[in-house]
Chains A and B, each alone.
Chain A
Amino acid sequence: EAGVAQSPRYKIIEKRQSVAFWCNPISGHATLYWYQQILGQGPKLLIQFQNNGVVDDSQLPKDRFSAERLKGVDSTLKIQPAKLEDSAVYLCASRPRLAGDTNTGELFFGEGSRLTVL
């Protein structure tokens, strides 16, 4: 089974520039998450999608961050304009619908996209 795919793996930009990250979740996973992980900290949830609708975006800095999940599959996370403090790894995760003994309802994470803002 293919895992969660993310791209690009690395991105270096200057402050005030824009950047976009792409995520392809595991096939059939209705729930998709974007997390931000700053060096030395645990991942912080930015936004949660259920199919193509937003469930929770309470910690998304909406003045500069935006995310969409068209057709309930792939998702993009955009930052515009970037600030120095946005330097972090952006992790995408997906989760299947919990179904009795067939799965644990666990999150599957991608390898992340590392952003450096200079």
Chain B
Amino acid sequence: DAKTTQPNSMESNEEEPVHLPCNHSTISGTDYIHWYRQLPSQGPEYVIHGLTSNVNNRMASLAIAEDRKSSTLILHRATLRDAAVYYCILSPLAAGGTSYGKLTFGQGTILTVHP
């Protein structure tokens, strides 16, 4: 499995943008970049994923470098509820294209949001 590197922790102030980086220099051409987050005492939840182009959804934006060796999860206006562990995971489409491969979680980035 291709490996990702994330900072152990980051801090932000409420209502400010947050940029969470992820390095994946050994990414393969078929790997999708997935982001999940885990709020305290809850299971992880999906945030966003992409392959090559930048992606936006109601939760966040994903900016993918042109060489795909790094990506950045962007929370446009952090709230206290965004305090969580954020995981960046690489996973390709499985054979047949009906699902992605298994998700291998690393340590993630602990995001602290200050009021």
A residues touching B (Cβ–Cβ < 8 Å)? Answer: 4, 31, 33, 35, 41-45, 48, 56, 91, 93, 95, 97-98, 104-112
Contact = CB atoms under 8 A, between A and B. Distances in A.
Contacts of A105: 99-100
A110 B100 CA distance: 19
Contacts of A98: 93, 97-100
Contacts of B46: 104, 106-108
Question: Which range holds the interface residue count of chain B?
Answer: 20 to 34
Contact of A109 (B41, B44, B100, B106): B44
Contacts of A93: 43-44
B43 A48 contact: no
Contact of B102 (A4, A48, A91, A104): A48
A48 B104 CA distance: 12
B103 A107 contact: yes
A57 B90 CA distance: 20
10 contacts: A35-B105, A42-B85, A42-B87, A45-B103, A56-B102, A93-B43, A106-B34, A107-B103, A111-B41, A111-B42
Nearest to B32: A105
